[in-house]
Structure formats: structure tokens, C-alpha cells
Structure 1
């Protein structure tokens, strides 16, 4: 039986993308900024990877940039206040806000930011 082991992002600028995800708490060594392929193992054992366009095109010359909301990543925060702070930190660092923090009807504090490749990344925490 197959097991989900890795999910990956295709990026235009490795250093910019890794810096964004460091702001969200991922431990990515700075020396990886100049690599074409980077991967880390998350706490549950699942791996997250980044590949530059050059790397992707080296084995898939038919690859095309997707249009629209291509994927979703959501980061669980410790509290509603952390959602607000992390949103502010990301925007202050020069990255885009897709939707500022709000109290969602499903019982979570929620916000959405954009990574350097315009992927929407959710930040959330339970309201109670």
C-alpha cells in the first residue's frame, strides 16, 4: 500500500520561498537558499520539499505554471493571538496578505497570507 511521504512546492526563487516558510516556524538551514532542491522532515515524519523551476523542467519539460488556487497549506497556531501576530509578522516582512485575521464561523481564528509564488497559506487556531 502506498503511503503519503512527501509533498512539494515549485518555486521561482528558492531563497525568498524558504525565508517565508521560516517565518512560519519551519526549521530550514540558511545554506539551503541556493539549492535547486530542498526538503525537510516535519514532526510527524512527512517531508516537505521545494524545487526550483529549473529542477522541475530538467525532468518534466512539459510542466506548466498552474493557474488559480493550486494547493493549500494550513499552519496551526497556539492561540488566536498567535494567528494575529504571525499574520502581522509575515506582512511586515513584505509578503502579501490574502485575508486579514477573522473569527471564522467554524470556531477558529483564521488568516490567509501569500507566499512568494502566490500560494495562499492559512494560519489558524481554535477560538476556545
Structure 2
């Protein structure tokens, strides 16, 4: 399937199969990643350590941080239950990994060590074969955050 996005105008060209195409005009773009959390206080504190600044106010079961065009949304399990979501079935928990780019391998190692001191370490730093230093930490609910840095 091919597609073409026209620089923010909302024009899309979609080709589902050879010879089949259609133009759809819609005003949308992906702008958020949602993480379901058990304890909003612990989770906002963790993500603040990673440089997130959360918007004041809002619903007591949600926190929103602007990451520069992409938003991080933290929703509590209790908030989702209020919406009658089945936490085990409807909550987006598996298969999602967030990523943090570090400028240098040394900075990655320092960030990993700092988070690991408080039990957030998951995969220790290593030099990956694709010329990047790589490590993984996890937030208080087990969501993985990959740390990566280019290798010289």
C-alpha cells in the first residue's frame, strides 16, 4: 500500500491495489502516545525525570506532556474503568516501547545508571551492531523506554 501526505493540508492519496486509488481529505495527524498507569503520581515523577513537563489541571486520572509536536498521555487504570474499559483487554500495554535519543554513549550510560539506581533498569547498555549504544529502562508500570545514542 502506498500513500502520499500533502504537507499538512490533509490531502492523502491512497493506493490499496494497482489501478485502485482514491483521494481522502481529512484533518488529522498522529500526535499522541498513551501509556496506561496504575499510579499517576509515580508515573508523572518518572517521566519528569526524563524531561517531560505536564500541563497543569485537567482530569485527576490523566496527565498530558507536550513533547514538541507529540504528546505523552498518561491515563490511570481507574480513569479507564470509569469509561467502562476492560483494563486487561482494552488498555494498550504490550508491544509499545518509547524511545529517548541521547547525544552520546556516555550520556546514555549516565542516564541508565541514574534510573537503574531506583530500580527502573531493564536491559543494560550495550553496543548494538547497527552503530548505536542501546539500553532499556521501564516505567513504574513496566512500559519499556529504549535509550539509544549514536556510536562514533
TM tier relative to shorter chain: 0.7 to 0.9
Deviation at residue 101 of structure 1 after TM alignment: 0.6
The aligned counterpart of 1:109 is: 133
Residues 1:60 and 1:68: Cα distance change in structure 2 (over 3 Å): closer
Structure 2: 5+ residue stretches without partners: 1-25
Aligned alpha-carbon RMSD (Å) = 2.3
2:32 corresponds to 1:6: yes
Cα distance in 2, alignment partners of residues 121 and 74 from structure 1: 5
Higher strand share: 2
Partner SS state of residue 64, structure 1: helix
**Any conservation in 1 of the 2:63–2:73 contact (CA below 8 Å)?**
yes
Cα distance in 1, alignment partners of residues 33 and 142 from structure 2: 17
Q: How many residues align?
A: 124
**Any conservation in 1 of the 2:36–2:92 contact (CA below 8 Å)?**
no
Higher helix share: 1
Cα distance in 2, alignment partners of residues 72 and 46 from structure 1: 15
Cα distance in 2, alignment partners of residues 36 and 68 from structure 1: 17
2:100 corresponds to 1:75: yes
Structure 1: 5+ residue stretches without partners: none
Cα distance in 1, alignment partners of residues 32 and 82 from structure 2: 19
TM-score normalised to structure 2 length: 0.73
Cα distance in 2, alignment partners of residues 70 and 57 from structure 1: 21
Deviation at residue 125 of structure 1 after TM alignment: 0.7
**Any conservation in 1 of the 2:33–2:73 contact (CA below 8 Å)?**
yes
Out of 22, 25, 28, the position equivalent to 2:54 is: 28
Cα distance in 2, alignment partners of residues 27 and 67 from structure 1: 22
Cα distance in 1, alignment partners of residues 38 and 31 from structure 2: 23
2:114 corresponds to 1:97: no
Deviation at residue 67 of structure 1 after TM alignment: 9.5
